[in-house]
Amino acid sequence: MFLCSHFILTQPVTFLVKHQQRCQEMEFAELIKTPRVDGVVLRRPFLPTVEGTLCLTGHHLILSSRQDNTEELWLLHANIDAIEKRFVGSLGTIIVKCKDLRVIQLDIPGMEECLNIASSIEVLSTLDSVSLMYPFFYRPMFQVIEDGWKSFLPEDAFKDLESMTEEWRLSDVNKDYSVCSSYPPLVAVPKDVDDDTLRKAAAFRHGGRFPVLSYYHKKNGMVMMRSGQPLTGTNGRRCKEDEKLINATLRAGKRGYIIDTRTVSVAQQAKARGGGFESEANYPQWRRIHKAIERSSILQESLIKLVEACNDQSHSMDRWLSKLEASNWQTHVKEILTTACLAAQCIDREGASVLVHGTEGTDSTLQVTSLAQIILDPACRTIQGFQALVEREWLQAGHPFQQRCSQSAYSNSKPRCEAPVFLLFLDCVWQILRQFPCSFQFSQHFLVLLFEHTYASQFGTFMGNSASERSKLNLSQKTVSLWSWVNRPQEVERLSNPLYEANCLVIWPSVAPQSLLLWEGVFLRWKRSSRCLDEAYDEMVHIIQYNNKELQNKVNNLRRQLAQLETEEPLLQTP
Amino acid sequence: MDHVEQVRLLERFSNKSTSGTLHLTATHLIFVESNNTATTILHHHIASVEKLSLTTSGCPLVIQCRNFRVVHFVVQRERDCHDIYSSLLRLLRPVSYDELYAFSYNPKQNEQQREEGWQLIDLGAEFERMGVPCDRWQLTDVNRDYKICETYPRDLYVPITASKPIIVGSSKFRSKGRFPVLTYFYQEKKAAVCRCSQPLSGFSARCLEDESMLQAISKANHNSRFVYVMDTRPKLNAMANRAAGKGYENEDNYSNIRFQFVGIENIHVMRTSLQKLLEVVGSRFLSVNDYLLGLESCGWLRHVKAVVDAAIFLTKAVTVEGASVLVHCSDGWDRTAQVCSLGALLMDPYYRTIKGFMVLIEKDWISFGHKFADRCDQLDGDPKEVSPVFTQFLECVWQLTEQFPQAFEFSEWLLLQIHEHVHSCQYGNFLANNQRRREELQLGDRTHSLWAFLLREQQNYLNPAYCPTYADTHPVLEPSTLPCHFKFWRNMYHQFDRSMHPRQSVLKNVLTLKESNCQLEDTIKDLETVSTCIKSNFICHIQMVSRYPVLTTSACLAFPTDPVLTTSRTVEGSSGTERKESYSDLQGTYGAKAEPAVVSLEFGVARMTC
């Protein structure tokens, strides 16, 4: 498929290899004991085997058959999740398991070469130093039309808000990241609340994440806010400023909903560790609803189990279904979608404002707020709008991408903070896309692309854990933004959904288990020959484009010509 | 009593309901809502009617249909409810074929059209297409008068070397006289797929004629020294049958066979399995885990996979090894029909076209005596004979269409429509249990053919991704047998549960566009002709004037607004035009509560608590 497309580009291999080798000489020379092995055989499911030369560079594993027009393998070391070694005589085999869930096999002649290659890959794929990561070395081989780092500035987003309401202001209380380390420098807050109140409210919220605006529902002026949990502790501490802040978002006599993404018992337990939830007594105008989105460590376990189930070679139906069930993945999808629907329902149907939080407010909270916007706001269903949403609700909002995505489903090392929080969000978007296949400007390719780039990328977009870390790394100067790549016309076209017709309505997905499907595009992607499905998809695209472009144009042209001929005709007859 | 007013129809998976009037006609149950939309249910489709205990709002009546529609009415007065209930019970149980809808159904066709409809499919021509008769296979007239086997068709194909005494002897040794006959001929390797019923071998009986019969089948194929005998039953079942004087072939007696069990369960297991499946997916507020555990424990997908696996085995033996295969189960009309027809579908691209698929069903199911009347419960009969064997076959085909989206000319809508009419008894094709009975009933003279109806509106059943050249590169399909590629067929088992489906249908959209492409192409052709005419000055004014308005109207039709399908069923969500309506559906469901003190918000099947 398009697995390596963004690595290969159109440049000759030699150029890239030279470029790579320069890097390698500098930082990686001692890590690469054997940079080149000939006669390596690459085996991939459903693709012909390739024999060729294997090259290791500082950031890539490259296999080239050194013949024209043959496919080459370019694999980022960062994409490698785990490797396994096997030996039969002097023939070594390395099984490479990637973060994008692909599994490939390399047969390497020579035991020493094989061992060297394996140990180099192991080291290179787990480098801890951020400054050695590929985005800092990557030079774009395409023309940057629009710098993605400047595409979605908070100031611009706020201009849109200003055109709709005057009740909000942009505060720079966090300009040096001192109030909240995971927030961006600029946040939208109620106009009547001053920065001092914000600072005090921040002290009362987990990680300093005081309630900020997430979404303004133009239709009825209701809002969705997000925050960290309140630090009530066991004594039931309260904070007048926090109460003032969120009450400022309510219209006179109106109530709001607080959606706590944790179950009541989990929220209760949080009190012992200084956290907690908003009590009825102190927040009488708010009604609290508890939901059950799992903590990130449980999600990681779920991903591992799901991928294991998908890779199971057993032909037993019962085994597959029970493993799928035991992974609980679909349950998480349903739970997250349901909570997002609930938030959207409170806003759109009940006409109430909503505050969403879990514990930290950087994981389940963002899943809910971003999905609710997909449901409510047609703008989020466009290619640009979806990027803006990811930028606003995930990157700026401080989802710790680097921590969450440093390992995927195969890694043998003990998970630290890894969790497929963003992947679950993408899965939920895919579920909605499946149910409303004409309401999204993008196809599932875009979602798969984002999944790949969150785990391994040549772009700097998903590096770091927060806006403050990204600014310290000076990513906007030193790396290329993924959005610069995506927003080129040819890429936009590739990611476009040919069936798209703007739909300004709120889209309510079904969350019945029968309506939720396993996302084959990610989890079964390498489990079958995708060619025939791709061809069917291409055929569909062809039918649509043939209609829209060629035929319609032709008809219009002919009509025009005909009209012209008609007006000319009398002239022809009257000379 | 012909109608009852103020009846409420409860939606299956939400708390929504609509009220209207319930009408009962001789053939249909019709519910007309206040906004005049009607839900029509054919009496033949009703599998069961249940009167639940009286509630404060009225008397509930639950109707389960064979096409998986479940409707829940609440009738205000108990007496009305009882009247409907007892009338339905009476109408539900036709005791003779003459009462079936097919004999009264009149689609406003003249006699000639009706007759032509019955002539659309010609099995003699189908065997000719396969290359039979040939130098090794011939048509035999032994069953001309249904004397040898009354559940087989009149025309049967056997090896040239199988003489009449061999046939007669073999048929006496086979359950219900269903001796081995040809059902598919793989011309490329001259390998045959034959079918029969189990041998009456008991623990030790043998029959020389039957052995000669298998010998003849083997000899008719020079590629292979042996014939595969596929017993599609689990070994245990086959062994148990021996006690009743039936059983399976003993490899010691048949020198030239390779015997193989493939383990598809019997009709009773399948019936229970589907019942369980429907129970699971029919429950409200179903959790994902209960859904998946239910899918597992009901075993339905396991059974579906077993049938596909068997068909793959058959296909490999024939196409790769070039061996002939004899398939049987107990009577040779359920599992055997499934495996033979599915195998042929994998081997021969013709059966993946609309017409070819009809031929396939006509051949392996209708003519070879799958007991549609018993299995589909057409007449009031033995409930133990009812089983979703044919439904399961359709599902296997659907699973294949999912794996090979370009290989089939038809979409799942054709499968759903066929399923609908297998149970509707509206057309004559599927009535009765075998050809002999059909002839007695003179179905060809008294009823209409479904195939004619389907072919007339075949543009509705086209698969837009179908690629006719796919057959050149993939004459034989090799499906994956990994369990993750078998999916729950929501559009079949929830076809009437709107809220479950995507709100927009890719299939429908692309189909509409494809149709519009054809119209645009025509328009272009017309416009081009006109413009060349004008250019060459050949045209006189009168012609111009008369043609041009026609052209503009046809060009306006570029995007037809009418929905392509006119059936009331929601197959895959709603079309663009229906979209608004379905949102308002939802609006009703989540209507704001007046008093939010006791918040019980609801979304889909999820329940939120405060």
- Indicate whether B541 pLDDT > 60: no
Find the CB nearest A528 among B296, B485, B520. B485
Q: Is B437 annotated as ligand-binding?
A: no
Report pLDDT for B505.
85
| pLDDT for the residue numbered A569 | 56
Q: Pick B567 or A121 by higher pLDDT.
A: A121
Of B288, B510, B587, which has the smallest distance from its Cβ to A330's Cβ? B288
Q: Provide DSSP, A501-532.
A: ----S-------GGG----HHHHSTTSS-THH
What is each CA distance from B22 to A268, A284, B7, B33, in whole angstroms? 52, 49, 7, 9
User: What is the greatest pairwise CA distance in chain B?
Assistant: 91
- Which residues of chain A make contact with B310, given a CB cutoff of 8 A? none
CB pairs under 8 A between A and B: 225
- Residue A532 pLDDT exceeds 70: no
Q: Which residue has the higher pLDDT, B455 or A548?
A: B455
pLDDT given for residue B1 in this prediction:
57
Q: Which residue, among A219, A264, A558, A572, would best test binding to B if mutated, counting the most B CBs under 10 Å from its CB? A: A558
| pLDDT band per the 50, 70, 90 thresholds, residue A424 | very high
Which pLDDT score, from 0 to 100, does residue A568 have? 65
* A89: pLDDT strictly greater than 80: yes
For testing the chain A interface, which of B296, B307, B585 should be mutated: the one with the most A CBs within 10 Å?
A: B296
* Res B320 pLDDT > 70: yes
Closest CA to B187 of B350, B326, B310, B342: B350
pLDDT band at B560 (very low <50, low <70, confident <90, very high): very low
The whole-number pLDDT of residue A96 equals 97
User: What average pLDDT score do residues A525-545 get?
Assistant: 76
* B498 pLDDT tier (thresholds 50, 70, 90): confident
Q: Which of the pair, A414 or A70, is modelled with greater confidence?
A: A414
Hey, are the CB atoms on A547 and B601 less than 8 Å from each other? no
> In this structure, are residues A61 and A75 in contact, taking their beta carbons and an 8 Å threshold?
yes
Let me know: does B376 contact B390? Beta carbons within 8 Å.
yes
Structure tokens given for B100: 């079936």
pLDDT at B589: 31
Nearest to A81 by CA among A135, A130, A128, A125: A125
A254–chain B nearest CA distance, Å: 11
Residue with tokens 């001796």: B179
Q: Return the pLDDT at A282.
A: 95
**Six token digits for residue A475:** 């990513």
A165 vs A26, more confident:
A165
Known binding residue B224? Answer is no
Q: Could you say which of B296, B499, B514 has the minimum Cβ distance to residue A321?
A: B296
Chain-chain contact of B302 with A318 (C-beta, under 8 angstroms): yes
Q: Is pLDDT of B363 > 70?
A: yes
A69 pLDDT band, cuts 50/70/90, is low
The pLDDT value recorded for residue A531 is 64
Are the beta carbons of B558 and A513 separated by less than 8 Å?
Answer: no
d(CA A216, CA B454): 51
Best CA proximity match to B394, nearest among B42, B68, B12:
B68
From A355's Cα to the closest Cα of chain B, the distance in A is: 15
- Within 8 A of B521 by CB-CB distance, chain A residues are 551
Is the pLDDT higher at B584 or at A543?
A: A543
Q: Which of A349, A443, A528, A560 to mutate to test the interface with B (most CBs of B within 10 A)?
A: A349
B129 is in an annotated binding site: no
> In a 3-state reduction of DSSP, which class is residue B295?
helix
pLDDT at position B514, please?
A: 82
Place of tokens 């007859």: A573
Cβ <8 Å between A565 and B13: no
Mean pLDDT of all residues belonging to chain B: 87
Query: What average pLDDT does the structure give for chain A?
Result: 90
| Nearest neighbour of A562 by CB, restricted to B527, B583, B609 | B527
Has B141 been labeled as part of a binding site? no
- How confident is the model over B290-304, as pLDDT tens digits? 999 999 999 999 999
User: Which pLDDT value is given to residue A6?
Assistant: 39
- Contact assignment for B531 to A565 by CB distance below 8 Å: yes
Residue B69 annotated in ligand binding? no
Please state the rounded mean pLDDT for residues A377-399.
97
Q: Which of A291, A313, A435 sits opposite B502 (nearest CB)?
A: A435
Distance of CA B435 to the CA centre of its chain: 19
Instruction: Give the gap in angstroms from C-alpha B16 to the nearest C-alpha of chain A.
Output: 15
Indicate left, alpha or beta for A69 from its phi (over 0: left) and psi (-120 to 50: alpha): left
B267 is in an annotated binding site: yes
B482/A527 CB distance under 8 A = yes
What distances in angstroms separate CA A222 from CA A256, B472, B594, one per listed residue?
9, 59, 18
Q: Binning pLDDT at 50, 70 and 90, where does residue A530 land? A: low
On chain A, the residues whose CB falls within 8 A of the CB of B579 are: 503, 505
- The answer on pLDDT for B383 being more than 80 is yes
Nearest alpha carbon to residue B361 among B340, B385, B379, B375? B340
Closest approach of B565 to chain A, Cα-based (Å): 19
Type and span of the H or E element at A368: helix A364-376
Percentage of chain A exceeding pLDDT 90: 74
Residues 6+ apart with CB under 8 A from B446: B102, B103, B428
Show residues of chain A in contact with B535, CB under 8 Å.
565
In chain A, count H helices and then E strands: 22, 14
| Tokens read off for A322 | 């029970």
In 3D space, the residue among A411, A379, A419, A398 whose CA is nearest the CA of residue A462 turns out to be: A398
Residue A272 has pLDDT above 70, yes or no: yes
- pLDDT over 70 at A202, yes or no: yes
pLDDT digits (tens, 9 = 90+) for B516-537: 888 888 888 888 888 777 777 6
Active-site positions of B read 329
Q: Which chain A residues touch B406 with a CB distance below 8 Å?
A: 532, 535-536, 539
Q: Give which of A331, A514, A518 to mutate to test B binding, by max B Cβ within 10 Å.
A: A514
Q: Could you tell me if A90 and A109 are in contact, meaning their C-beta atoms sit under 8 angstroms apart?
A: yes
Greater confidence, A550 or A473? A473
Which phi-psi region, left, alpha or beta, contains residue B476 (left: φ > 0; alpha: ψ -120 to 50)? Answer: beta
Q: Is the pLDDT confidence value at B579 over 80?
A: no
Per-residue pLDDT, averaged over B14-25, amounts to 91
Q: What is the pLDDT of residue A235?
A: 92
Task: Determine if residue B604 is labeled as part of a ligand binding site.
Answer: no
- Contact between A559 and B527 using a beta-carbon 8 Å cutoff: yes
Q: Are the beta carbons of A562 and B534 separated by less than 8 Å?
A: yes
Give the model's pLDDT for residue A128.
83
Strand partners, B327: B195, B230
**pLDDT tens by residue, B94-126:** 889 999 999 999 888 889 999 999 999 999 999
Nearest chain B alpha carbon to A572: B537
Mean pLDDT computed over A374-402: 97
CB-CB: which of A322, A351, A536 is closest to B465? A536
Residue A26 confidence (pLDDT):
60
**If pLDDT is split at 50, 70 and 90, which confidence band does B585 have?**
very low
Residue B583 distance to chain A (closest CA, Å): 8
The sign one gets for the Cα dihedral B125, B126, B129, B135 is negative
Q: Give the predicted TM-score (pTM) of the model.
A: 0.90
Give the minimum alpha-carbon distance from B511 to chain A in angstroms, rounded to a whole number.
9
- The pLDDT of residue A19 is 53
Q: What is the DSSP annotation of A98-165?
A: ETTS-EEEEEEESHHHHHHHHHHHHHHTT---GGGSGGGT---SS--SS-GGGTT-HHHHHHHHHHH-
State the pLDDT confidence band at B450, using cuts at 50, 70 and 90.
Answer: very high
Mean pLDDT value of segment B344-370: 98
| Dihedral over alpha carbons A151, A153, A155, A156 (to 10 degrees) | 30
> Which residues in chain A are closer than 8 Å to B485, comparing Cβ atoms?
524, 528
Of B281, B482, B599, the CB nearest to A315: B482
Residues of chain A with Cβ-Cβ distance to B555 below 8 Å are 555, 559
- pLDDT tens for B208-264 read 999 999 999 999 999 999 999 999 999 999 999 999 999 999 999 998 899 999 999
Number of helices (H), then strands (E), belonging to chain B: the values are: 22, 16
Q: What is the pLDDT of residues A96-152, one digit of tens each?
A: 999 999 999 999 999 999 999 999 999 999 988 888 999 999 999 888 888 999 999
Do B555 and A540 count as a contact with CB atoms less than 8 A apart? no
Q: Which strands form A222-226's sheet, in the order they lie side by side?
A: A212-217, A222-226, A353-357, A256-260, A286-290
CB contact under 8 A, A346 and B503: no
Q: What is the mean pLDDT of residues B141-151?
A: 96
CA distance B467 to chain A (A): 9
Interface test with A, best of B264, B280, B283, B295 (most A CBs within 10 A): B295
Name every chain B residue with its beta carbon within 8 A of the beta carbon of A516. 288
Instruction: Indicate the residue of B486, B524, B573 with minimum beta-carbon distance to A317.
Output: B486
